Amino acid sequence: MHTLKRKFMMDFHTHCNYSPDSDTPMEDMIMAAIQIGITDLAFTDHVDIDADIDNYPQDWDFDRNAFEKDIFSMQEKYQEKINIYQGLEVGVQPHLIEKNAEIVKGNQYDFVIASLHSVEKRDLYHKKFFEHHNDIEAVQIYYTELEKSLRKPMDFSVLGHLDLYLRYKPELKNVAAKHYDDIVHVIFKKIIEDGKGIELNAGGFRYGLNQNNPGMTLLKLYKEMKGEVITLGSDAHSPKYLGSNYKENCELLKSIGFKYVTTFKKMKPVFHKL
């Protein structure tokens, strides 16, 4: 991995056409990232087993060996212009702990995002989960399922887009923190003790939330609990959104008290001063 002469800029949550929900070739994403000044780019394509996603009856997965081969090729081709990382976004659920652990072991990842996209085996995107619970229950169960998904060892780097449920049911923002604080404390305590972290995901702005995922309440709590590992990602599935809100989010993190953002190489954190 090269130390580039350009000013550091990261995007550690992106997708290309290895993800079922993107049709952008990997190289197109790389060229666009170089153009806007990104120095450190992680591809984190989706593996979501047993996700119950409408119009996609099979598991969300892809040829991870072909992906790895392409990553290595792109790293060599663009090594003087951008640092490229092999990542993965794994959809966690409590009953998938062992399966997901095996998936992560299968290739040479630099970085793994653990994200909760389906709760009680019901997909959040198509709102199936919300049909079965009132608002308070929905938020409490979301965090309880995430906490259960962390109870056994799985090698990951950060938790993805906490409070993701807001993208699909924004009114859940009105659920007071007192209803889920205890569960989130348990989650943060565990990941901090294990040397893992969270991401600041700019994707919420594209869903009309006028905020990142997670929002300020969770970011401040994570910092208050001495959490230090935090990555910045756009959740871009096309070049248009690469690097979204990057400068603003660096300033936001500094205002909360964070001094560093984090990249990962071979699953080890590397800290960069804000």
Instruction: Tell me the three-class secondary structure of 177-237, residue by residue.
Output: HHHCHHHHHHHHHHHHHCCCEEEEEHHHHHHCCCCCECCHHHHHHHHHCCCCCEEEECCEC
In which band, very low, low, confident or very high, does the pLDDT at 128 lie, cut at 50, 70 and 90? confident
In which band, very low, low, confident or very high, does the pLDDT at 215 lie, cut at 50, 70 and 90? very high
pLDDT at residue number 51 = 77
Model confidence over 72-81: pLDDT tens digits? 999 999 999 9
Flag the least confident range among 1-10, 94-103, 186-195, 227-236: 1-10
- Asked whether residue 47 carries a pLDDT value surpassing 80, the answer given is yes
Amino acid type, 70: D
- Asked whether residue 56 carries a pLDDT value surpassing 60, the answer given is no
Beta strands 122-123 and 118-119: pairing type?
antiparallel
Burial class (CB in 10 A: 0-12, 13-18, 19+), 188: buried
User: What letters, b where the CB count within 10 A reaches 16 and e where it falls short, cover 132-152?
Assistant: ebebeebbbbbbbbbbebbee
Spatial CB neighbours of 146, under 8 Å, sequence gap ≥ 6: 92, 116, 159, 187
In which band, very low, low, confident or very high, does the pLDDT at 236 lie, cut at 50, 70 and 90? very high
Q: Which candidate, 219, 252, 268, 230, places its Cα nearest to that of 85?
A: 268
In which band, very low, low, confident or very high, does the pLDDT at 153 lie, cut at 50, 70 and 90? confident
Distance CA 130, CA 146 (A): 16
CA triplet 167, 171, 177: central angle to 5 degrees? 95
Distance CA 123, CA 130 (A): 9
Q: For the residues 186-192, what does the mean pLDDT come to? A: 98
Distance CA 113, CA 96 (A): 15
Distance CA 251, CA 104 (A): 33
CATH class belonging to 10-273: alpha beta
Do 138 and 129 meet the contact criterion of CB atoms below 8 Å apart?
yes
pLDDT at residue number 230 = 98
Q: For the residues 25-47, what does the mean pLDDT come to? A: 98
In which band, very low, low, confident or very high, does the pLDDT at 273 lie, cut at 50, 70 and 90? very high
Phi, psi of 21 (to 5 degrees): -105, 20
pLDDT at residue number 57 = 52
pLDDT at residue number 53 = 65
Q: For the residues 108-127, what does the mean pLDDT come to? A: 92
% of the chain with per-residue pLDDT over 90: 88
Q: Supply the DSSP symbol for 58.
A: S
The H or E element containing residue 142 is helix 135-149
Q: For the residues 169-187, what does the mean pLDDT come to? A: 96
